[in-house]
A = this chain, B = another copy of it.
């Protein structure tokens, strides 16, 4: 790779009191992170905010100006606490009203006589937005400017990501290679790892401990856009990890 890699960035904004209270354990952040990584979008930041209009507006307005895409989850259902669509329209300074395309979708699974005022709220879409479809429920999300608004229910959110995926601009995919350091302590290889990191400013090199059966287990991960650079750093790291492991036996 001789020319600079194209970088496309994103942020995720998780909206919901239930995540902050601990009632619901978020699963969408990990899904969005994997999705972005796989298609060549760099997820750079995540925020979780409560169901409070001003908080949503403030976060959306910071994130949409800073990153190429903002993915939001939560708050697009029919109940009073679903305020995301209105908050996004306020953040972007555009109008919002019932969208005939969304009403048509809702009528695919709601009988006309059951399409009450609450359910019609799910068809409130900011002006100028495209709908985001999903195969799990018919209620749509939407995409306006660089903000993609999705449901909070993980299976619905995932289906919405699949819907928008082909329409997203993407950049160079980040290549990630993992070196198993195993029970080798981080402190034993930190200096040599740092030297490789300093030699490779274009790479992100991390050391990740986990505790398995009460013992630390370490992995080193090399991430970057340039396959040759990644391979070179991995080879350099493997040399000292192998040597240090042999010394410990």
Contacts and interface: CB of A to CB of B under 8 A. Distances in A.
Given A22-B30, A211-B153, A187 B118 contact: yes
8 contacts: A17-B206, A18-B206, A18-B221, A22-B36, A23-B176, A79-B207, A110-B187, A114-B187
A217 to B, nearest CB: 10
Given A23-B176, A137-B216, A211 B156 contact: yes
Copies in the complex: 2
A194 interface: yes
A156 B46 CA distance: 23
Contacts of A37: 21-22
A95 B188 CA distance: 27
Contact of A116 (B191, B204, B206): B191
Interface in A10-58: 14, 16-26, 29-30, 33-37, 42-51, 55
Contact of A45 (B20, B121, B211, B221): B20
A116 B187 contact: yes
A194 B117 CA distance: 12
A190 interface: yes
Interface residues of A, number: 70
Contacts of A223: 17, 21
A48 B190 CA distance: 24
Contact of A187 (B50, B119, B216): B119
A81 interface: yes
Interface string A101-122: 0000000001000101111011
A114 B117 CA distance: 69
A48 B20 contact: no
B174 A80 contact: no
A186 B77 contact: yes
Contacts of A21: 33, 37, 43, 174, 176, 223
